[in-house]
Amino acid sequence: MHEDIEKVLISEEEIKLKCKELGQQLTEEYKEKFPLAVGVLKGALPFMSDILRNMDCHVEMDFMDVSSYGNETKSSGEVKIVKDLNTKVEGRDLVIIEDIIDSGLTLSYLVDLFKYRKANSIKIVTLLDKPEGRTANIKADLVGFNVPNEFVVGYGLDYAERYRNLPYIGVLKPKIYGGE
Ligand code: XMP
Ligand code: MG
């Protein structure tokens, strides 16, 4: 375990099993289609990579990078597109892949955008869900794990751009935030 991590919430093994399970479910749902998997950068990268390798059907992939206005801890709900898709959304079956849903404001913005662009269908897959943080009326179709209202890092999730490369999800030691 990394020395900055206080505890591991979800192990590498648990994540691996979950990706297999979710990949199989998506295969069943999309085997007759050609879905467009939309990864939300940067946090969804490891999850997207693992989930797509467990999908036994044709799937196209593309990426969005969005940042939300507001202060560091509270999303304002206004989202800025930093990198847009290269793919046309009209008529496509979208699978949005996220690392974590907290307030839900980011996803709510993306869903509205893709509806406006006339997607045929939109499904949300998230590795983590923090239901206590929710302010927007949005629900994921597939959730890997529910997590408590704590700041988590690893497997794509960062603190100041660090820890994304950890293979598990963990909670940081308070001293890393300048606490203790
Ligand atoms: P919403 O719009 O659902 O935002 O509030 C979701 C985005 O907020 C970030 N986020 C976290 N990032 N650890 C992180 O590293 C966390 O515990 C956490 N909670 C929310 C993340 O970027 C996510 O996409
Ligand atoms: Mg994110």
Which ipTM score applies to this complex?
0.92
Specify the residue with its C-alpha closest to ligand 1, atom 12.
157
Query: Is there a contact between 55 and 26 (Cβ–Cβ < 8 Å)?
Result: yes
Specify the residue with its C-alpha closest to ligand 1, atom 17.
151
Residues known to be catalytic:
102
Cα–Cα distance for residue pair 160/103, rounded to 1 Å: 20
Give the residue-averaged pLDDT of 16-23: 98
Please give the distance, rounded to the nearest whole angstrom, from the Cα atom of residue 28 to the centre of ligand 2. Answer: 27
What is the pLDDT confidence band of residue 74, given thresholds at 50, 70 and 90? low
Please give the distance, rounded to the nearest whole angstrom, from the Cα atom of residue 127 to the centre of ligand 1. Answer: 11
Q: List residues near ligand 1 (CB under 6 A).
A: 43, 75, 98-106, 151-153, 157-158
% of the chain at pLDDT higher than 70: 94
Query: Is there a contact between 62 and 45 (Cβ–Cβ < 8 Å)?
Result: no
pLDDT digits (tens, 9 = 90+) for 89-124: 999 999 999 999 999 999 999 999 999 999 999 999
Give the residue-averaged pLDDT of 159-177: 94
Please give the distance, rounded to the nearest whole angstrom, from the Cα atom of residue 166 to the centre of ligand 1. Answer: 17
pLDDT digits (tens, 9 = 90+) for 32-41: 999 999 999 9
Query: Is there a contact between 106 and 49 (Cβ–Cβ < 8 Å)?
Result: no
Name all domains of the chain by residue range, CATH numbers in brackets: 13-151 (3.40.50.2020)
Give the residue-averaged pLDDT of 122-128: 98
Cα–Cα distance for residue pair 128/152, rounded to 1 Å: 10
Cα–Cα distance for residue pair 135/131, rounded to 1 Å: 9
